[in-house]
Amino acid sequence: MITLSEYAPIVGQEVIDQLERLAEGLGPARFVHVNSTYTGGGVAEILHRAVPLLNQLGLETAWHVIEGDPFFFETTKSMHNGLQGFKVELTRKMWEHYLEVNRANARKFDWEADFVLIHDPQPAFLINELRPRAAHWIWRCHIDVSRPHLPVWRLLRDIVNQYDSSVFSMPQFAQNLPHPQYIIHPSIDPLSDKNRELTDAEIQGVLNRLGIEKDKPIIIQVSRFDSFKDPLGVIQAFRMVRRHTPCQLILAGGRATDDPEGDRILAEVQEAAAGEPDIHILMLPPDAHYEINALQRASDIIVQKSTREGFGLTVTEAMWKGKPVIGGAVGGIVIQLQDYQTGFLVHSPEGCAFRIRYLLHRPEMARRMGQLAKEFVRNHFLITRHLRDYLTLLTIVRSPEGRVFEF
Ligand code: UDP
């Protein structure tokens, strides 16, 4: 198990001391997280790392996952798409089923807590059934709700209104709600298999196993096969670059158990890449953290051409590896990539192709951009900062009005 003190060489001992002080000030507390999958996607990625560390800090922290059938996950994926702006229709049958699956899960849960943090819309209705089980209910929204399809948001809002507070990843996602809203950026763990340093031999070993030769520059996008991640736009951009400059593209992705659309999008991607030997589509198992780490480190440019994005942990992971990143100018990506400094923001496949070519021809600039990116992540998006935000949030929501805080 990784201990908190192992982060000191990366973030400084004073950061660890502050976490311990905050945890001590908060006192004994039970903290429950609920989401809808153990594997796949950024939420599970964060919880796997944050839950053990919060326990180390003395907070009794548990993580529960709701169960659902395929119709439930089709419904919640439609909700997700609607909240990110697609004009989806949620039928009465879908909505009733969503509520019923939440009720069924509520009957199985036997926890009690001081604080419960419900991640995203899938388990949001639990509050309706389990309210007395926790003193404070927080809804944590990880998705890009800057321009939601209103009929979907209105349905969810009636549930979210019941919460004591909510947390969004950036101010642009905040909503008109009757309770306090907090902004907390997600984070990555620099000591996880996904992000820890690797030797050249380890990286080469993964490339050999996956059949990738490093004979031309590598451009990669790591993402679930999801239309908001725009893999087809990445292929389009790559084909434009390839006309002039030799390079290869890796699209690496896997399945999330709460995302039923992956296979359809993957089939579209395979069709779009057909006949192009320099496009490698890698379907990776959910625990391929080490392989993704190696692939990111082996790459020359990392792309995240999303059209909507809650935050984009793949961007953070790439920046931490000192890579130049080109990202869609949406959602949380814009907090991470500052044009010409920590990365490039783009608005179209053409823009993406232009920036790929630009960086391929300017290796020194790519290197400097990667260095700046890494320091930016060190200062803002590592898990220690995230733990600090959670401890601060819990301290605030537990305190009587009028208290003066000193952190
Ligand atoms: N990821 C993974 N395997 C995959 C695709 C993604 O482990 O095949 C990881 C990726 O490295 C990142 C997370 O899943 O840590 C995705 O988080 P992000 O915020 O980028 O997107 P989300 O999937 O949550 O929309």
- From 156-160, 264-268, 301-305, 397-401, the region with the lowest mean pLDDT: 397-401
Q: Nearest-5° angle of CA 353, CA 357, CA 370?
A: 105
Q: Is 254 in the pocket of ligand 1 (CB under 6 A)?
A: yes
What one-letter code names the amino acid at 242? R
How many angstroms separate the CA atoms of 152 and 21, rounded? 42
255 SS3 class: coil
How many angstroms separate the CA atoms of 101 and 109, rounded? 13
Mean pLDDT of 259-269: 91
Q: Is 311 in the pocket of ligand 1 (CB under 6 A)?
A: yes
Which atom, in ligand 1's list, is nearest to the CA of 143?
A: 25
Q: Which residues pair with 221 in a beta bridge?
A: 251
| pLDDT of 257 higher than 80 | no
> Tokens in use for 59?
């907070």
| pLDDT of 261 higher than 90 | no
Q: What is the pLDDT of residue 402?
A: 73
> Tokens in use for 390?
């959670």
Instruction: Note whether 164 and 138 are within 8 A (CB).
Output: yes
- Judge if 226 and 324 occupy the same domain: yes
Per the prediction, the chain carries an average pLDDT of 96
- Judge if 101 and 169 occupy the same domain: yes
- Judge if 119 and 228 occupy the same domain: no
User: Which one, of 146, 324, 347, 317, lies nearest residue 233 by Cα?
Assistant: 347
Cα 178 to ligand 1 centre (Å): 32
**CA-nearest residue, atom 23 of ligand 1:** 41
Mean pLDDT of 299-315: 97
> Which residue in this structure is represented by tokens 């296979």?
263
- Judge if 238 and 351 occupy the same domain: yes
Instruction: Note whether 33 and 119 are within 8 A (CB).
Output: yes
- Judge if 289 and 183 occupy the same domain: no
Q: What is the pLDDT of residue 224?
A: 92
Q: Return the H-helix or E-strand segment holding 202.
A: helix 200-210
Strand residues in 57-210 grouped as ranges (E)? 60-65, 113-119, 134-140, 165-168, 181-183
> Does a structural domain hold residue 193?
no
Mean pLDDT of 166-170: 96
> Does a structural domain hold residue 252?
yes
How many angstroms separate the CA atoms of 333 and 319, rounded? 11
How many angstroms separate the CA atoms of 293 and 299, rounded? 10
- Judge if 144 and 177 occupy the same domain: yes
Q: What is the pLDDT of residue 407?
A: 75
SS3 content of the chain, % helix, strand, coil (to 5): 50, 15, 35
What pLDDT band is residue 356 in, cutting at 50, 70 and 90? Answer: very high
> Tokens in use for 194?
């996904």
**CA-nearest residue, atom 14 of ligand 1:** 41
> Does a structural domain hold residue 179?
yes
How many angstroms separate the CA atoms of 350 and 274, rounded? 21
Q: Which are the contacts of 119, defined by CB distance < 8 A and separation ≥ 6?
A: 33, 34, 35, 36, 43, 47, 140, 142
> Does a structural domain hold residue 86?
yes
Cα 396 to ligand 1 centre (Å): 31
- Judge if 223 and 324 occupy the same domain: yes
| φ, ψ dihedrals at 115, nearest 5° | -130, 135
Q: What is the pLDDT of residue 90?
A: 96
Cα 357 to ligand 1 centre (Å): 26
Q: Is 224 in the pocket of ligand 1 (CB under 6 A)?
A: yes
Which atom, in ligand 1's list, is nearest to the CA of 255?
A: 8
Cα 223 to ligand 1 centre (Å): 5
Q: Which residues pair with 119 in a beta bridge?
A: 140
| pLDDT of 255 higher than 80 | no
20 SS3 class: helix
> Does a structural domain hold residue 400?
yes
What proportion of the chain, given as a percentage, has pLDDT over 90?
Answer: 94
Q: How far is CA 117 from CA 35, 65, 135, 175, 323, in A?
A: 9, 12, 11, 18, 33
> Does a structural domain hold residue 399?
yes
> Tokens in use for 84?
């990110």
| pLDDT of 256 higher than 80 | no
- Judge if 343 and 319 occupy the same domain: yes
- Judge if 171 and 299 occupy the same domain: no
What pLDDT band is residue 136 in, cutting at 50, 70 and 90? Answer: very high
Q: Is 331 in the pocket of ligand 1 (CB under 6 A)?
A: no
What is the CATH number for 150?
3.40.50.2000
Among positive and negative, which fits the CA dihedral 216, 219, 222, 223? negative
- Judge if 65 and 210 occupy the same domain: no
> Which residue in this structure is represented by tokens 């000193």?
406
pTM: 0.95
Query: Which residue segment(s) compose the domain that 57 sits in?
Result: 4-187+382-406
| φ, ψ dihedrals at 167, nearest 5° | -130, 130
> Tokens in use for 318?
């790439």
What proportion of the chain, given as a percentage, has pLDDT over 70?
Answer: 100
- Judge if 272 and 135 occupy the same domain: no
The number of domains in the chain is 2
Q: Which are the contacts of 160, defined by CB distance < 8 A and separation ≥ 6?
A: 124, 139, 166, 175, 177
Q: What is the pLDDT of residue 79?
A: 97
Cα 40 to ligand 1 centre (Å): 6
Pocket test for ligand 1, best of 140, 292, 325, 335 (most atoms within 8 A of CB): 292
Which atom, in ligand 1's list, is nearest to the CA of 142?
A: 24
Q: Is 222 in the pocket of ligand 1 (CB under 6 A)?
A: yes
How many angstroms separate the CA atoms of 123 and 163, rounded? 13
Q: Which residues pair with 249 in a beta bridge?
A: 219, 279
> Does a structural domain hold residue 394?
yes
Cα 315 to ligand 1 centre (Å): 10
- Judge if 179 and 127 occupy the same domain: yes
Q: Which residues pair with 382 in a beta bridge?
A: 188
Measure the N-to-C terminal CA separation of the chain; round to a whole number of Å: 28
What pLDDT band is residue 396 in, cutting at 50, 70 and 90? Answer: very high
Cα 184 to ligand 1 centre (Å): 18
User: Which one, of 306, 301, 265, 298, lies nearest residue 283 by Cα?
Assistant: 265
> Does a structural domain hold residue 195?
no
Cα 41 to ligand 1 centre (Å): 4
Instruction: Note whether 145 and 83 are within 8 A (CB).
Output: yes
Residue pLDDT, tens place only, 205-253? 999 999 999 999 999 999 999 999 999 999 999 999 999 999 999 999 9
